[in-house]
Structure 1
Amino acid sequence: MVEGVFRNIVYGASTALSITVMNAQADSVRLLEPRGTYAVGTVTYEWQDFSRPAEYSAYPEDRRTVVAQFWYPANPAPDDQQASYNPISEDYRKVSTNSFLRSGFHTSVENANLILFAPGRGTERFLYTTLAEDLASHGFVVVSVDMPSIGYVIFGDGLIVKPDSGFRPPPGMMGGPYEKVDQFFELPTAMGTADLDLVYEKLIDLNRSDPDQRFTGRLGLDTVGIFGHSLGGRIAGRFTTDHDFVKAYAAMEGIPPRDIRYGGKIGIPTLMICSKGTLPYAIENYKSYLDNSPVSTYFAVLDDFGHNSVTDNPFIYPDRFNYPIDPEEGLQISRKLLTAYFLGQLKGRGDLQEDLKDIEQLNISTHGKN
């Protein structure tokens, strides 16, 4: 765990800009409506860790700060405001969400399972809103974390922290050998894992005594899930290994560090996701995890998907992505897959392969020991 003194700043809307310059979008874009029974609330915090310096700041007294956005089962009041997707960025100002800003927690939901999201390198927390809203509508509390220097972060006071160019893999590296890939990502993996440690400590504080009384006594912190995308999948794998309260781990084209893969250090059924196009380049890396897993592990291969099909970006800006899958269909499949996995692993509901057998683009197999 991270030790130190923490400072809270809460604000009610997403504040990060996209690192990518986008084409003009349609007049309006509305995200897919969640499929669950609960309305969805959202609130965003800034959390500062006084035990770590802000390596992205020239001022030596600045401390590392993360931004954490929540989506949760809510009981919105009639005058609650619809949450903006991102009110500051011109790129996303016309996108409508299905969440209500700072709504009260739904009174019928107790001990709600927590799911942490670790975004990909250069990616903002809110780009997973479709996935997060769907999970929240099924009774989960989702927390997606902006990690400075790893992702693209804008804080509430307007400070912009761009991804560290030193964390961008050089051309050809991702094709192997994977010893070099593992070594290259050691530093951002350690940074991101410490960020998630900070977030979990703050969740404990909120569950114990939320000043706004929204989350007090509502969070189930002993049975936690985590999803990581790309580099976030590597960070999520390290965090899972370090904490036995993590009972579900899913990753899209992200793989745990080398010692975890070859050592079989994750003893829970996990979900590894890969697009069919990426698989030929990544199969040996996945095999190092799947073949050494001490328990059964799901391996999902998605036809026609791209690396970012699990994010909202292709849905919002379809002309910017040339993936074969229709962006809406990609999101529909992504959220069905993740929600089914977390419902099964954290709540004991359904059978993953049986529930998703009719999705033509999805091939799920199991590996490892039973």
Structure 2
Amino acid sequence: MRRRVPRAEDGRVTEIITGLHMSPLELLALSGAVALVLARWLPAAARPPVTIAAGAVFVLSAIVLSVAGIRWQMLPVLAGAALALPFAVSPLLRRRAGRETRRARWWLALPGSLACVGLISAGPAAAWAFPVPVFPEPSGHFAVGTRVTQWTDPHRPETATAERGDRRTVVVQLWYPAQRSPADAQRAQYLGRTEREAHTVSDALARYIGLPGFLVDGVPRAHTHAVFDAPVAGGGGRFPVVLFSPGLGGVRTQNTAWAEELASHGYVVAALDHPYDSAAVVLTDGRTITTRIAAAGDPDEDEKRSAETSAIRAADLSFVLTQLGRLDRGEIAGSLTGRLDTGRVAATGHSMGGGAALQAARQDRRFDAVIDLDGYPHDPAPSSFDQPVLALTQAITEDTDPRYLPRLGKVLKLSTATSYRLTIPGAAHITFMDGPLYLPPVPSLVGSLGRTESQRVVAAASLAFLDSTLRHQPGDVTGALSAYGDLSVQRPGGGR
């Protein structure tokens, strides 16, 4: 399977072979390296031309890759070819000099050839395990635009730096229905407004989850399908709004594939960076704020901190909704003025963000619906609320987490509207974000749905719920949701 995606090194479109997650140039270097090793085992007449051609292809590809930027996944390929090159070229040089050519016995050469092939094979295996993410094409009829803004709440102090008198500031990225851009238009960088910001955020995320940064160096190279500051789609209608809060330590872009899919179907998605919580937040003045969230090691203290974090996030969501209302009314300048339907709004989030979305809806009745993507509610005193909820979860049992289901069930029962819990077979916690696109496809880590199927299922279930609750489209939402997993329906009054 082939797909054209932008590469961040030079901003041009480069074809990626999605099965191996390698570019044509990398495949050329790989082919040359393999041919160098195999040339020794060809008939005598074929060895010289194959060796010369393979060596030329490999050397030229390696030089170009060195200029463009070599991914770490190519280092084993280069090492294997470098070991094979002297043995492949030496007989040719001896023959050219008129000297007798000598070949090692096959049983002596075979271990070396196998070792070189093993090294070279490690390259595509690593590229497959840690690829440059390829984002699924949005399926809606709208193109997608994006922009980043920063807002400061003058009424809330920043509790993480209260001694300095700071006010709470959030960074928000909007994905919205847009007009079609030219085919050669630059697509938005993943993880940041610039490649530098993307690398800053990627490195911070790697540190947060305890991975060496080089393992995911393909992530900040990726571009998405959205175009920065693309003109808003014509027609003059207003679009329903979906606010999104990421997981603990997560960043606003962590669900880009999901956001682009919703935007292509006519929604505006506003995703938040929560400073001092998100792994890294790059402000407009260039400052980078890293997380201050850390486990205390005491369950009671950790739950107290989680409740405090959830409350701050819920307040952030309400503040951003207020700002979006001001943007729609023209009190804040922007191309989306008059296009935001802030009377049809959903609060959503992943993990910690999902719990915060539930809390925000309970405290702020301007939210009309909630989507909780595998999030545990940390609100210490939940009370009844009017909004319908879709809770998407992995398969959870008392053995995996004895608190999760009772807590989530308790909150869902507090809703006076019909709510849904959808358990997606084969899902893991990371299934509900972009992680499957660039992490090793290990079921215990990213689930067993596959890289693109994970994105499709989560977005399709979200759209079925949003179309029903925000757009009030006719149809059997229960049947639509049931197609994606095991559905439990919580009706008002405790009925099922």
Shift of 1:279: 6.5
1:82 aligns with 2:82: no
Runs (5+) with no aligned partner, structure 2: 1-70, 74-126, 200-216
- Alignment deviations for residues 211-239 of structure 1 (CA, whole Å, 9 cap, x no partner): 65411111111121111111112211121
Task: Write the distance in 2 (CA, Å) between the matches of 1:346 and 1:23.
Answer: 46
For 1:309, give the aligned amino acid: T
Report SS of the residue matched to 2:452: helix
For 1:82, give the aligned amino acid: R
1:251 aligns with 2:372: yes
Task: Write the distance in 2 (CA, Å) between the matches of 1:322 and 1:229.
Answer: 14
Root-mean-square deviation (CA, aligned residues, Å) is: 2.7
1:103 aligns with 2:230: yes
Query: 1:109·1:139 contact (CA, 8 Å) conserved in 2?
Result: no
- The aligned counterpart of 2:459 is 335
Task: Write the distance in 1 (CA, Å) between the matches of 2:420 and 2:394.
Answer: 14
Higher fraction of strand: 1
Query: 1:266·1:293 contact (CA, 8 Å) conserved in 2?
Result: yes
1:163 aligns with 2:303: no
- Alignment deviations for residues 291-335 of structure 1 (CA, whole Å, 9 cap, x no partner): 443332101112221111111122122357353332322111111
Greater C-alpha Rg: 2
Task: Write the distance in 1 (CA, Å) between the matches of 2:376 and 2:163.
Answer: 35
Report SS of the residue matched to 1:241: helix
Segment drifting more, 100-109 vs 150-159:
150-159
Distance change >3 Å, CA 182–CA 240, structure 1 → 2:
farther
Report SS of the residue matched to 1:214: coil
Count of aligned pairs between the two proteins: 337
Shift of 1:278: 5.8
- The aligned counterpart of 2:17 is none
- The aligned counterpart of 1:6 is none
Report the TM-score, using the length of structure 1 for normalisation.
0.82
- The aligned counterpart of 1:303 is 425
For 1:162, give the aligned amino acid: T
For 2:490, give the aligned amino acid: H
Q: Percent identity?
A: 27
- Alignment deviations for residues 234-290 of structure 1 (CA, whole Å, 9 cap, x no partner): 211121112222111010222442422xx3x12222111211046652222122223
Greater RCO (Cα-Cα under 8 Å, separation 6 or more): 1
Segment drifting more, 106-115 vs 85-94:
85-94
Shift of 1:148: 0.9
- The aligned counterpart of 2:155 is 51
For 1:189, give the aligned amino acid: S
Task: Write the distance in 2 (CA, Å) between the matches of 1:278 and 1:155.
Answer: 41
- The aligned counterpart of 2:172 is 68
Instruction: Write out aligned runs for 1:142-161 (5 A).
Output: 142-152=269-279, 153-161=281-289
Which of 303, 316, 326 does residue 438 from structure 2 map onto?
A: 316
For 1:200, give the aligned amino acid: L
Task: Write the distance in 2 (CA, Å) between the matches of 1:292 and 1:157.
Answer: 43
Task: Write the distance in 2 (CA, Å) between the matches of 1:275 and 1:298.
Answer: 14
Report SS of the residue matched to 1:203: helix
Shift of 1:140: 0.5
Runs (5+) with no aligned partner, structure 1: 1-21, 174-178
Shift of 1:352: 2.5
Task: Write the distance in 2 (CA, Å) between the matches of 1:70 and 1:229.
Answer: 17
Query: 2:177·2:268 contact (CA, 8 Å) conserved in 1?
Result: yes
